[in-house]
Amino acid sequence: MSERVTCFEEDPRLIKVDNLAYDIYRKGNHKAHNYDHARWDAERAAEISMIERPSFATLTVAAALMHDTGASIGEYKDHGCNSGVLVRMHFPHFGYSPFEVGLIARAVEQHNQWKHTNDVSRILYDADTLNKAGEHGIQQCNLVGEEFGLPLIRKAERFSPYFRKLFEKGYYTDKAKEIDLRMGNERFAGLEMTVAFWEKINQLIREGTLQEEEMMKVAKIEVGLTQ
């Protein structure tokens, strides 16, 4: 399990949020939309917000911890909305003001949408998009595929246009752009690598000469990954 992110000590409410999130994700027991993923996003959210919007740092960490909890309590398609329901239900009891509850709930509701109406929402979007970047992002795609039982052809159909759209939208913050570069290699920036990987897989599927495992190997070599 990941280390606790730094700003946890500064805001004791985050201990309650972390415990709640951990319990909900554990019940869901998902391959991709789980506590480890939320912790990864929370660490990136802390890193971004401490530079870009320090006064919102602990709020963005709380939003990141909660953002996918909805996937453990209902249909995946409703998960952003259901995560918001959980925030609105529990956070007033943890000491969050109505204003803070509103910011965090809107952020988790909007995390998988294209419009983000406050800075908590924009930083959460950046953190969750970074999770899809580079080699780490390709591994996350495979976990999502396992969670939904998708064969490679379905993953490519789903991820290729989606990642292209994320790449074209870009990040809100300069700090996220910097982390994205760190997640890439000498050939590609982070999210650019994931896009190139899935476009190569699509090309190989159209050519139809290789088995799934070979396609994965060829696409990894194409984007400069060795294994």
Nearer to Fe ion, 179 or 215 (CB): 179
Q: What is the DSSP letter of 131?
A: T
In angstroms, the CA 24 to CA 162 distance is 27
* CB 54, min distance to Fe ion, A: 23
Min CB(33)–Fe ion separation in Å: 6
Question: Least distance in Å: CB of 37 to Fe ion?
Answer: 6
Distances (CA, A) of 82 to 50, 88, 93, 95: 27, 10, 18, 21
Between residues 112 and 142, which has the closer beta carbon with respect to Fe ion? 112
Q: Give me the residues that bind Fe ion (CB under 5 A), please.
A: 68, 112, 128
Residue with Cβ nearer Fe ion (52 or 68): 68
What is residue 183's three-state secondary structure? Answer: coil
Q: Which is nearer to Fe ion, 143 or 218 (CB)?
A: 143
Angstrom distances, CA of residue 38 to CA of 75, 97, 201, 212, 213: 18, 23, 28, 29, 29
Query: For residues 128 and 135, which CB has a smaller minimum distance to Fe ion in the complex?
Result: 128
SS (H, E, C) 108-129: HHHCCCCCCCCHHHHHHHHHHH
Q: How far is the CB of 24 from Fe ion (least distance, A)?
A: 13
CB of residue 186 to Fe ion, shortest distance in Å: 28
Helix axes 98-110, 57-66, angle to 10 degrees: 50
